[in-house]
Structure 1
Amino acid sequence: MITRDDFQSRFDVPRGTMEQVDAYAELLVDWQSRMNLVGPATLTDIWGRHFTDSAQVLAHLHPGSVVDLGTGAGFPGMVLAILGAGPVHLIEATKKKCAFLQAVVERLALTNVTIHNQRIEALEPFEASNITARACKNMTDLVTWALPFNTRETLWLLLKGATAAEEVAAAKTSFNFDAELIPSVTDADGRLVRVRNLRPIWNR
């Protein structure tokens, strides 16, 4: 099990930033007691299942904006914002989850986070330097919905489980792209799917 100290050491998080991460963790536990933000069983390994899992994306980001699809309780996007990425756009359709995200932004006084309480496909698109997602639909659906945010330079960083290779193969029937499957630091079967040069097959 990954501890708070393990997390801080692995990502070399400064004391002030770690205080913000602690506040986020406290808010998550508090709000979880009143609404379902994450799987209840995952709170026993909060530093591994949520914070380390999210923070592993940081080292792979391009400079610039981050769009986090179906962010839920803010993973990975909120963690990336606290650690200095951004600007970060958190897209979440559930109003109650957006209320939680807003509470985190206000408590931590974050200025690099924008919350979009909309479905991905309904949001007015803008160019994204990076697109991330965790536990949000299969890869083909994600790419289809978020394609309007994609540019020639956009980097996709998708946290996936044991079916990552199968999802990549399925997506390649509709899209051309270069993909690298990077082993997850928190899940032996998980992969961080790093996608570049994405475009529909009809747009070669």
Structure 2
Amino acid sequence: MSAEILDKEDVARAWIGEAFAPTTDQWAKLDRFVDMLVAENAQQNLIAASTVPTVWVRHIADSAQILSLDTREGDGLWIDLGSGPGLPGLVVAILSARPMLLVESRKRRCDFLRAVASDLGLAHVEVAEAPLERVETRPATTISARAFAPLDKLLDLSARFSTESTRWLLPKGRNAVKELALLPQPWQRMFHVEQSRTDADSQILVGTGKIVAKQRGKR
């Protein structure tokens, strides 16, 4: 049986409570992040204005579910590609102690990411203000990307950060199966599809392993 879709704000908050048992401090940080996100959205387009009334469903729970797919303990680096307003990266950083690298090339968004990390005391968050191609290579325990690039390009660009145990968490909306089917077989076999908890029509690609770049055409 598929999991219940989190379609209301109170339902989304209740699920976060059940799934992660946030401390009082973590709840306060999530609330503060929401306030900062909505306020900044009036200054720059971080999220669709139509999603503000359902921000807990569309953005906070939607990001938290990514963490629920990789709850490994330890201090392995989590890299969030094209982090934008910190979704899912800042939500994961609030709910876990994992070292977090937020990769974002747009200056105003990086300024916002740094402001939130500073305001919330998220010392384990680092912001890389650069295109991914210019980010120093380092091994990632987890790689996430909520809205970064088409799947084959995403994997090619981020392959150098992966190891045999890297966990890939890639929300792909309604195109997950289609994008996966277009990959060369060595990449296809690494992934499976998970249903999104916040949208009945959306899916998340989940995989584990090292990507070897430039495998296109090797089927």
Question: Shorter-normalised TM-score: what interval?
Answer: over 0.9
User: 1:131 touches 1:155 (CA, 8 Å); kept in 2?
Assistant: yes
For residues 161-182 of structure 1, what are the alpha-carbon distances to aligned partners after superposition, in whole Å with 9 as ceiling and x for unaligned? 1110111111235736421101
For residues 82-113 of structure 1, what are the alpha-carbon distances to aligned partners after superposition, in whole Å with 9 as ceiling and x for unaligned? 00141010000000000000110111011110
Unmatched 5+ residue regions in structure 1? Answer: none
C-alpha separation in 1, matches of 2:208 and 2:26:
30
- Residue matched to 1:9: 17
Match of 2:139 among 112, 118, 127: 127
For residues 118-169 of structure 1, what are the alpha-carbon distances to aligned partners after superposition, in whole Å with 9 as ceiling and x for unaligned? 1111111100000001022111111111111011111101011111011111
Task: Quote the offset at 1:198 in angstroms.
Answer: 3.8
C-alpha separation in 2, matches of 1:45 and 1:178:
33
C-alpha separation in 2, matches of 1:199 and 1:154:
9
- Pair 1:48-2:57 in alignment: yes
Q: Aligned residue pairs: how many?
A: 204
Unmatched 5+ residue regions in structure 2? Answer: 1-7
Match of 2:80 among 61, 68, 72: 68
User: 1:175 touches 1:198 (CA, 8 Å); kept in 2?
Assistant: no
C-alpha separation in 2, matches of 1:127 and 1:92:
18
RMSD: 2.0
Percent identity reads 31
Match of 1:37 among 22, 26, 46: 46
User: 1:70 touches 1:90 (CA, 8 Å); kept in 2?
Assistant: yes
Task: Quote the offset at 1:2 in angstroms.
Answer: 2.5
- Pair 1:164-2:176 in alignment: yes
Q: Normalised by the size of structure 1, how large is the TM-score?
A: 0.93
Q: Which has the higher contact order (CA 8 A, sep 6+)?
A: 2
C-alpha separation in 2, matches of 1:105 and 1:168:
34
Alpha-carbon distance change, 7 to 107 in structure 1, aligned in 2, over 3 angstroms = farther
User: 2:85 touches 2:112 (CA, 8 Å); kept in 1?
Assistant: yes
Task: Quote the offset at 1:9 in angstroms.
Answer: 2.7
